[in-house]
Structures are given as C-alpha cells and as structure tokens.
Amino acid sequence: MYEGVNASDGIGIGVARVAVEPDLSFTPHAPEDAGDEKQRYSAAVAKFVEQTNAQIERMTETVGEEAAAIMGAHIEFAEDEGIVEMVNSSIEAGMCAEQAVSEAYDMYYNMFSNMEDELFRERAADVADVKTGLLADLLGKEVVDLSTLPENSVVVVHELTPSMTADIDKDNVAAIVTETGGRTSHSAIIARALEIPAVLSVADITKVVKSGDMVIVDGSRGRVLVNPADNDLTHYRTKAKQFAEEKLALEAYRGKETVTGDGEKVLLVANIGNPDDANVAAEHDCEGVGLFRSEFLFMGAKELPSEDDQFAAYQKVALRMKNQPVIIRTLDVGGDKEIPYLNLCQEENPFMGYRAVRYCLNNPDQYKVQLTALLRASAFGDIKIMVPLVTNIDEIRQVKALVEECKADLDARGVAYNKDIEVGTMIETPAASLIADDLAAECDFFSIGTNDLIGYTMCADRGNDRVAYLYDVYQPAVLRSLKRIIEEGNKAGIMVGMCGEAAADPLLIPVLISFGLGEYSVAAPSILRTRRIISEWTKAEADALTEKVMKLKTAAEVKAMLQAAAR
C-alpha cells in the first residue's frame, strides 16, 4: 500500500495507464537571426493560447464554467507582458527561444514555489504547465494526451498539470495518481469537479506501477494499492458501492438548516478564492461565504486594482449570496509574494515579516482603496471585513480607524454603505490566541485560520516533509489554543468561525461542537458531508468525547480516539 494526499474523494478501481512525459531537453545555442527566433516564440504563444481556449470550451461543457476558468491563468501567463518582454530581450541578447522561455518561466516558477500561502505556491504548477506547452511546440514534441484512454483507466503520472486534466475523458478514467501536488492545486480542484478519485504526492509511484497493473485508489484516505489481493478487491468494491450510496444520501441534506443532533443551529459557509467561486459554493448549498481571499484580485493584475475594480468583484459575490454573510479577508500579501507593482523587498524570513495587516497599515492610502470598495459593496449584501495576521490590539484599532475615515469619505460623496458593517479578525497566530479575550472586546467576529495557526503554534512548515509529522491539528497544543479562542469569543458574545481545513475534518467536528464553534467555513464540495456529520452529534455526546480527548498527551492518541468514535 502506498500513501499520498487525499485530493478527491471516492474509490477508483481499474487498469494503470502510466503517462510518459515528453523529453523537453535542448542544447542552448545562439540563433542566426533574432527576428526569426522571436517569431518562433510568438507563434508558439499563439498556438498555446488557441489550444488552451479550445480546452476551456471543452471543460465548460464537462465540468462547468467555474472550473474551466482555471485554465484562464495559463493564457494570462503565456501572454503576460512582463514575461513576453523578458523572453524577447533574452533572444535579442543571443539566446535561442527555448532557452529564453525556459529561464523566464523558471524565474516565475521559483517565485511562486517559495511563497508561504499554499494556494499561491500551487500557481507554480500553472507556470510549469505553460513552460511545457511552449517548449513542446518549439521542440516539435507532443505533450501527454489523456483524451483517448480505454475504459476504467487509472492515470498514473509524475505531475498532473491542469492542461492534462482538462483533456481527460471523464467517462473512461476511474482514478488519478500523481507524484506531486496538493489538495489546493488546480489539478485537484478540477479532479473534484470531475468527481474522479485522486491521490497526489505518492512518492516514486511512476517507478512502482507499470501500464496494465491493476490499481485501487482510495481518494478519501489517500491510499493506493497496486495489484491487490482478491480480498482487497472485494473489500474496496464494497466500499465503492457504499461511497456511491452515501453520496446519494447526502442530497437529503440539501436545502436543510445546519443543526447538531439536538437542534442547535450553526452556520455552514464556503471558502472562495474569486468571485466566480461563489457560484460553485451556492450550487453546493452553502449558507454564505466564510472566507473570500481578496489577494487573488491583486495577484492577477498588472497594477493595483482600482476602487471600482475591487468594488465590482465584492459586489458580485454579495449579490450572488443574496444577503447571506460574506466575510472578505483584506489583502494578505507580503515579502514572500513578489507582486512587482507593490515594490516588496525580499526578506530572510518572510513568513514572520512585513506582510498582511503590517503591510496594509504601512500603506494606508492603498489600504483605504480596498476598505472603501468593501464598504460600497456592503450596500448590496451582508459584507464583513476580516483582518489577517493580527497579533496585537493596536493593529485592529488602526484598521477600524481607517474604516471610519472611509465611511466619512463615502458620506461626503453621498455613497450608500452599511453603517454597521462588522470588522473582525482572522485568528492565526499564537499571539492572537493568547490575547483572544482582549481582541474579542475589539472585534465583531473571529475566524480561526487553522492552516497557519497549526504551523505557527508547532513551528512547523507543512511544506517541509522532515517536520510534517508536527503539522497536525490533533496536537494537544493546537486543540488547547482552539478551545481558548472559541471560549473567549463566545464569552464576549461575538461569532466565532473557522475557515481552515480543520473545519471540514470529520474526526474533529464533535470537538468543535463541544468547544462551541458557531461557523464552519469549508470547501464547497465538503458542505453537504459536513452538514451530515454535524447533525449526528448532540452537544452532550460531543462534550463527553471531548472531555476524554483533552486529557490525552499526544496527537496520535487524540487521532486514534477520534477515529474510534467516528460515525
């Protein structure tokens, strides 16, 4: 048995098809005519854009417009003025098109790979995908084609790029296994949209599996079995049938309120990264948006988005949610994210550096553009403002003062907004956890960002395999921190939510119920499952389990007890 990242739920059983990637090696050389070489590059870009647009059209039909829009990032990178200028300058300086493309895209790949936020790190895969497409055309090579696979194929590949995923014949692919990638990668998102079981980051799986091998893929648990025994096949065929039945049964929770087993109502909302994601969230029956990562507006722009540009994006989500709550996180960017027009400096330790609210408060005029756009959008729905990486009271007070300045400006302009707009904070640092009582007196709500809270609490980078064992929500230190944050928020009478991955963890949900969590913000596909699990636990049952859990000393003990109690 091999283990990896559980990227897309379900059980897939079929015959392995190991996809061999093309050899894109080349010998650098000086071109005879720079003009001709630039024309080769221009033609490769045009062909890539044409092929990608065709993929977008096919995906729009198979998985919907929102998932298809992911491929738009490829066109943006291919046509990016900065990259095009860099490549052409390198060609004029004596490089062949292949070398110029390779060096330019490698620079951007390294930039995104070194970013702290996993969602931005995953954009490195998009950059690599564009590089592969351009080099393949320049070298006259064919890229991996997954559009004509036999029935019940299990795709096994080193890296499943978004362009490969876009061409997959959904009806013939039983599952996907890769050696790279995470749950937030575009390939994982598309695999979930296609409802194909997928396990990513299985080390050396392309060396272990041969085309023609029988493979079982457990996308829910992140497990892969190669040439399984008869009893394993029988077991997983039964599990596959049960999974299909459970998925159908989840539809019974569509349109229902989210309540515990004893009728206590909580809010079940969605995490989104751009305005179009709101449509997907609504289709999955969310009760609002618990986290809208506004930095995507800035990362995808060539210059600082204007007030009107930002307002349009926030208004679109507000209108789509029809007065359901929409929590929008203000710009969470810093020294680890090189946005050229922000003129950010490199730092030795950007994870603890000049970023998020620290950057925003040092650029108040720029920050007020975003705050004003948020206020304007609040006239069209229940917009709430969330401040990231707060570590002291002064930061939240300064943000609130800027909000008041923006309100005064809108009053002078005669522009409508919600005068009672809520301003809260994301609790994602040990400092914020320790002063949760003081922050609760200043904030209208809390939203716990468990992804960073775990990392900062355990001093462990989740991207570092050597310390990954420490990055675990079941660590007693993390659980004690969660308990304190929720208790202090509830004591102050403010809403306490959670927008990290832990909010959808089926094992952790009874503990969160016991702690008194009021809002669960999860990925859209997890909404109905999370609603079902919440409904299966009464507060008394959750309290009894949690009392035992909080006496345990290790993460392994905690996880084992929660697994034994799982329903």
* 461, 467 Cβ separation under 8 angstroms: yes
- Residues 105 and 118: their CA atoms lie apart, in Å, by 19
Rounded Cα–Cα distance for residues 276 and 298 (Å) = 16
Residue 90 to residue 545: CA distance in whole angstroms: 63
Provide the pairing of β-strand 223-226 with 2-3: antiparallel
Contact 135, 24 (CB under 8 A): yes
The whole-angstrom separation of Cα 226 and Cα 13 is 10
Spatial distance between the Cα atoms of 313 and 378, rounded to a whole number of angstroms: 12
> Which residue in 18, 160, 115 sits closest to 350, CA to CA?
115
**Alpha-carbon gap, residue 531 to 281, rounded angstroms:** 14
Half-sphere exposure (CA, 13 Å, Cβ side) for 263?
A: 0
- Does 406 participate in catalysis according to the annotation? no
Q: Which of 200, 192, 246, 243 is nearest to 224 (CA)?
A: 200
Q: List phi, psi (to 5°) of 168.
A: -65, 135
Out of 96, 186, 406, 443, the active site residue is 186
SS3 label, residue 369: helix
Which pair of structure tokens corresponds to residue 359? 């950057």
- Output the six-digit token pair for 433: 């956890």
Q: How far is CA 559 from CA 455, 540, 554, 555, in A?
A: 18, 20, 9, 6
Strand partners, 491: none
Q: Which residue has the tokens 């009464």?
A: 538
- The DSSP secondary-structure symbol of 150 reads P
H or E stretch covering 225: strand 223-226
Strand-pairing partners, residue 490, are none
Q: Is 74 tagged catalytic?
A: no
Whose structure tokens read 């052409």? Answer: 88
Give the DSSP letter of residue 158: S
Report how far residue 385's alpha carbon sits from residue 361's, in angstroms, rounded to the nearest whole number: 15
Segment (H or E) for 217 = strand 214-218
**Pick from 4, 364, 332, 377: nearest CA to 158:** 4
Give me the active site residues, please.
Answer: 186, 499
